[in-house]
Amino acid sequence: MKVLPVLVFAVAAGTAVAATPKNPGELLAASPATDWRKPDPDRTLYMELPSGRVVIELAPDFAPQHVANIRTLVKAKWFDEGASVYRLQDNYVAQWGDATEKKPLGEAKKNVPAEFTRPIAGMPTFTKLPDRDTYADEAGYAAGFPVARDLKSGRAWLVHCYGMVGAGRANELDSGNGAELYAIIGSAPRLLDRNVTLVGRVLRGIELLSSLKRGTKPPLGFYEKPEDTTPIASVRFAADVSEDKRTNLEVLRTESATYKALVEMRRNRKDDWWKEPAGHVDVCNSSAPVRDAR
Amino acid sequence: MKVLPVLVFAVAAGTAVAATPKNPGELLAASPATDWRKPDPDRTLYMELPSGRVVIELAPDFAPQHVANIRTLVKAKWFDEGASVYRLQDNYVAQWGDATEKKPLGEAKKNVPAEFTRPIAGMPTFTKLPDRDTYADEAGYAAGFPVARDLKSGRAWLVHCYGMVGAGRANELDSGNGAELYAIIGSAPRLLDRNVTLVGRVLRGIELLSSLKRGTKPPLGFYEKPEDTTPIASVRFAADVSEDKRTNLEVLRTESATYKALVEMRRNRKDDWWKEPAGHVDVCNSSAPVRDAR
């Protein structure tokens, strides 16, 4: 069989532990348990679709006010009635929430200040990637999220990589509130960085969004027929779901030695299939691996 | 409605021609007809799926021997019997052809020399993007395809952007032959550049591949059940399809003034929604727009 090699950091249970890991799978299998963390259930959302569960880790270090507003909505079970995935534009985004914008937000705010960037000072430990970035002075990872940084202004921001989740907004900068969210399902639209607030990352289940039927209404990819939308059954914090019904995951710590070794291995793949190691890697090809909790 | 702005170069018929184009749609609507080209029907493939047609433009300037072998297969109607889309890995590839590798190739070659790179000398007109690339000395477009270049070695190669089509290979460098092809349906896996032969680009219908059910067989995303594969009805050159049944498209010439203006506009979006123009653009965010022929 002619195949493209494993690029996605799929971490299969039971991968043999190799003395000298030759590829990312072996490296992760040999990694110490302490290099992995369990996402905080108070920062982890479960969005239940007819096809299954989408698990989202929120990023309060980068978007505290948006995360607080989403918390208010979720705790009030706001997404459980009338919310849907209502836009699917190929090579771009899946968008969900209340498409009508008419549903009262209850205790949640209608307008949340833009959180497009934050100060570099005080941010979580940053693991800088060794290669130049097209868009920013530096790119790397912090707390498991892709981050870019501008040294002159001293600002940092989350990057629009595949699977990142953001809060849709209208033209007014403070018009996003988390009642309409999107996930990136295509080539990283880095042009959006610093123009809209990213609030987290899909840890599992992005394929439940990325494989949905595409919307055909030009130019934005909304569905033309209401029956094409995907109803959302509920959105809950993992902490509010009984333990036996949780999706127990672990994320590789992006400040760990294993992560750094993984980046280096990804820059220079040397296992059998490869002819010409890239010698470089970009931020959206360096995402933090996720696995079932051990 | 809170929406992310139009990033994809969707070219809707009837967009008003603006005196001073403010966004990519207006720029394209105002562009001279001579800045567009009709893909050569002798280099354009139609792959017919139950859901519709995938239109692929081949790149003989970069992979002449693979294109010749694909031509032999297609002219013999090789894909019309027993071929399917048999692998779908999220954020990576859709792969199709003869998964069994047992179907005789007829007049086509079993092994085609690797065409991972080509000399810069003699390549089609190259429009260099102004911003630095993470992986190569230069990146840009030639003949409508994304290209990266290494100045020291004097080599150029096609880039694994969304929608690019390549020839799967086994570990042997010459084991690709075009009987198994793939299309990129996720974040650009640039690590593959210079490791496998890219043969073309999907001009229309990539969503028919990218929205397919994901394969679940770890770690490569093959389908576990035969019924999950998507049968291919036929693959034909546009030239071999009667004119009334062709999909008549135009592609913006990447050596045109309009394309250069479009790149500049994409680097610095200034229409209403935008707050912070990116100031940069990468090769996989600069693809050549495609529209219905006028």
Domains in chain A: boundaries: 40-247
In the chain, the amino acid numbered B270 is K
Query: SS3 of B87, please?
Result: strand
CA dist A286 to A8, A91, A129, A157, B174, Å? 9, 19, 9, 16, 29
Instruction: Determine the Cα–Cα distance for residues B235 and B42; give it in Å rounded to an integer.
Output: 13
Is B14 touching A (CB cutoff 8 A)?
A: no
pLDDT at residue B14, rounded to an integer: 54
Could you say which of B99, B134, B207 has the minimum Cβ distance to residue A282? B134
Q: Work out the minimum CA distance from A85 to partner chain B, whole angstroms.
A: 13
Closest among A270, A26, A277, A274 to B170, alpha carbons compared? A274
Could you say which of A2, A133, A276 has the minimum Cβ distance to residue B169? A2
Q: Work out the minimum CA distance from A78 to partner chain B, whole angstroms.
A: 18
Please compute the mean of the pLDDT values over residues A97-119 and round it to a whole number. 95
Query: Percent of chain A having pLDDT more than 70?
Result: 95
Q: Are A120 and A136 in contact (CB under 8 A)?
A: no
> What does CATH list as the number for B39-247?
2.40.100.10
Mean pLDDT taken over chain A: 94
Q: Are B280 and A148 in contact (CB under 8 A)?
A: no
Collect all residues of chain A within an 8 Å Cβ-Cβ radius of residue B280. Answer: 134-135
B69, B91, B137, best to mutate vs chain A, most A CBs in 10 Å: B91
For residue A12, is pLDDT > 80? Answer: no
Q: Do B214 and A192 touch (CB under 8 A)?
A: no
pLDDT at residue B57, rounded to an integer: 98
pLDDT digits (tens, 9 = 90+) for A177-227: 999 999 999 999 999 999 999 999 999 999 999 999 999 888 888 999 989
Q: Work out the minimum CA distance from A219 to partner chain B, whole angstroms.
A: 6
pLDDT at residue B10, rounded to an integer: 45
For residue A101, is pLDDT > 90? Answer: no
Collect all residues of chain A within an 8 Å Cβ-Cβ radius of residue B219. Answer: 6, 8, 10, 12, 25
For residue A13, is pLDDT > 90? Answer: no
For residue A9, is pLDDT > 50? Answer: no
> What does CATH list as the number for A40-247?
2.40.100.10
Collect all residues of chain B within an 8 Å Cβ-Cβ radius of residue A4. Answer: 92-93, 95, 166, 168, 182, 189, 192, 196, 220
Q: Work out the minimum CA distance from A84 to partner chain B, whole angstroms.
A: 14
Q: Do B276 and A116 touch (CB under 8 A)?
A: yes
Q: Do B2 and A171 touch (CB under 8 A)?
A: no
pLDDT at residue B15, rounded to an integer: 57
Closest among B225, B109, B278 to A194, alpha carbons compared? B278
A66, A91, A117, A152, best to mutate vs chain B, most B CBs in 10 Å: A91
In the chain, the amino acid numbered B184 is I
Q: Do A7 and B133 touch (CB under 8 A)?
A: no
Q: Output the six-digit token pair for B150.
A: 């290494």
Cβ pairs A/B, distance under 8 A: 207
Q: Evaluate the omega torsion of the peptide bond into residue B130 and state whether it is cis, within 30 degrees of 0.
A: no
Is A182 touching B (CB cutoff 8 A)?
A: yes
A18 — pLDDT class (breaks 50, 70, 90): low
Closest among B9, B4, B22, B1 to B162, alpha carbons compared? B9
Is A91 touching B (CB cutoff 8 A)?
A: yes
Collect all residues of chain B within an 8 Å Cβ-Cβ radius of residue A89. Answer: 8
Q: Are A169 and B264 in contact (CB under 8 A)?
A: no
Give A 131-160 residues with CB within 8 A of chain B: 131-135
Q: Are A211 and B213 in contact (CB under 8 A)?
A: yes
Q: Do B284 and A180 touch (CB under 8 A)?
A: no
Please compute the mean of the pLDDT values over residues A139-164 and round it to a whole number. 98
Is A29 touching B (CB cutoff 8 A)?
A: no
Please compute the mean of the pLDDT values over residues A248-274 and round it to a whole number. 95
Q: Are B58 and B43 in contact (CB under 8 A)?
A: yes
Q: Do A2 and B180 touch (CB under 8 A)?
A: yes
Q: Work out the minimum CA distance from B175 to partner chain A, whole angstroms.
A: 8
Is B284 touching A (CB cutoff 8 A)?
A: yes
Q: Do B284 and A196 touch (CB under 8 A)?
A: no
pLDDT digits (tens, 9 = 90+) for A48-81: 999 999 999 999 999 999 999 999 999 999 999 9
Instruction: Determine the Cα–Cα distance for residues B142 and A292; give it in Å rounded to an integer.
Output: 44
**Tens-of-pLDDT digits for all 294 residues of chain B?**
677 776 654 445 455 566 788 889 999 999 999 999 999 999 999 999 999 999 999 999 999 999 999 999 999 999 999 999 999 999 999 999 998 889 999 999 999 999 999 999 999 999 999 999 999 999 999 999 999 999 999 999 999 999 999 999 999 999 999 999 999 999 999 999 999 999 999 999 999 999 999 998 888 889 999 899 999 999 999 999 999 999 999 999 999 999 999 999 999 998 889 999 999 999 999 999 999 999
Instruction: Determine the Cα–Cα distance for residues A48 and B141; give it in Å rounded to an integer.
Output: 42
